[in-house]
Chains A and B, each alone.
Chain A
Amino acid sequence: MLSSLGLRTRRYANVLVGITGLLGLAINTCPQLLKPQRRRIFWLLFKRQLYNSGLRAASINTIIAVLLGVFVMSKAYSVIPNNMQFIDYYAQFFNIVVNREIGPLISGIILIARSASAVTAEVGQMQLYRQFDALSAVNMSPALVFLLPVFFAFPLSLLLMFFYFNLICVFTSYAVIELYHEGGITLMAFIRALLEQLTFTEVLVSMTKALVGGCLIGLASLFFGYNVQDRFTDVSRAISNSNTFQLFAFFVLNVGLSYLVYL
């Protein structure tokens, strides 16, 4: 059992070393973007990645945000006393539960399930069929073509998804009030109460979760995809290992940051 634990720790350490290496490579490749030719090809691929990982996730993001917003805020509504301070408590609950924790976590899980798996499968298949040779044949840098678009698009996608998730939740939370509450609270009053609860630290922590988490998820996808060997089953194994690692790492990042800052 101890040896299995040791092996697993070593495997995770190897993954972290690999991801750190990719991070270094990404930073090292960034100066290439100063060249106009490199920038225009990067821009095309970056837009494609952002569209696939960020914008195309909007529908599933909306459905989950609506369902979760209605469910969580209905629960909150049922336990918060209906008095003069109702709206403040309600906004505070929204801020602590949705804004601080559920928003980043659910957005991250959607990114892992939708886009990170796709990138791992894409890169894994390319590795399996030796398509990186084709890239070498036209002398294009894999770091610029695959690494940088993911490196920039994933954090930005997660930030957009997180913002979008919260926005939808704000409206569904207000819909819950409209449905049950008889105090005549306006949408503007609700938004004002939410903004009063929101601190600069919370915005900063949420942005850190999105940017660091997105970067980690993206680099892990590439790392596992690139490590595919000769067997077809290596691709499915890479996706499975990649998702497990990403979920674990993203959860640790979320809990760790919340624990450090809020507790």
Chain B
Amino acid sequence: MTCLQFDNVDLRFDDNVVFRQLNLRVNSGEIVCVETGVLDGGSSLLKLAAGLCEPDDGNIIIEGLSLRDMTEQARFKATCMAFEDGGLLSIFTNYNNIAFPMLYHTRMSEQEIADQIQPLAEALAMADLLALEPHQLNDVQTRMMNLLRAMVFRPKLILLDEVQSGMSHEMRENMLNVLLREQQEHQYAVVMTVTAGDRTDFADRVLAIHNHQLEEVQ
């Protein structure tokens, strides 16, 4: 079943064309890596899929529903984006950045939410950072906290923006192991932007942005 579908999507910022007639299909449970360079639209692609950015033309569909017609609750269940930088509200602790959206969208109790966050945080070696505030994290930890949040939410589609950047070898291996284990268990689709030096061997497909379109990498 198709999880994410881009139909003839156009995106431009003023005169700068980012995507022209872009088409993409990602199946449920599929992992797709998108190789990106500087300012070629990698983050914009994920923001379009997360509904954070409106296409100038075309349609974006997640699990058969047009993104623009979804309620905020339906979007929460459909997709979550992990940002390359920022993405966390500075007025909440890191823990509350994960727990508050769950309190907001689900009927889970605070204890149930804690039970869902804690094991994943421990697996990603992030448990000690939960009580801190976003400004106390470095850029790698910020990306990891974004990833943790996306994994805790367990939507149908997880969008990861250059999550591997700046990580040590051990940290990257551990993060990918946890991500792949969780992805296998919960069968969500993953779209991950990657840059030079990042691992892509775990992906079902690797794409690259070329000439305002997505092309398969051989």
Contact = CB atoms under 8 A, between A and B. Distances in A.
A131 B89 contact: yes
B75 interface: yes
A138 B149 contact: yes
A137 B72 contact: no
B105 to A, nearest CB: 7
B52 A136 contact: yes
Contact-residue bracket for chain A? 20 to 34
Nearest to B91: A122
A13 interface: no
A137 B90 contact: no
B100 A131 contact: no
A225 to B, nearest CB: 12
B119 interface: no
A41 B83 contact: no
A134 B86 contact: yes
B104 A134 contact: no
A131 B90 contact: yes
Contacts of A134: 83, 86-89, 97
A140 B72 CA distance: 7
Contacts of B52: 133, 136-137
B116 interface: no
Contact of B101 (A126, A130, A139): A139
A37 B105 contact: yes
A244 to B, nearest CB: 25
B107 interface: yes
Contact of B87 (A125, A126, A137, A140): A137
Contact of B90 (A44, A129, A136, A138): A129
Contacts of B105: 37, 139-140
A137 B104 contact: no
B145 to A, nearest CB: 11
A137 B50 contact: yes
B106 A37 contact: yes
Given A129-B90, A133-B83, A139-B76, 16 more contacts: A37-B105, A37-B107, A40-B103, A41-B103, A44-B103, A126-B91, A131-B86, A131-B89, A134-B83, A134-B88, A134-B89, A134-B97, A138-B80, A138-B101, A140-B100, A140-B105
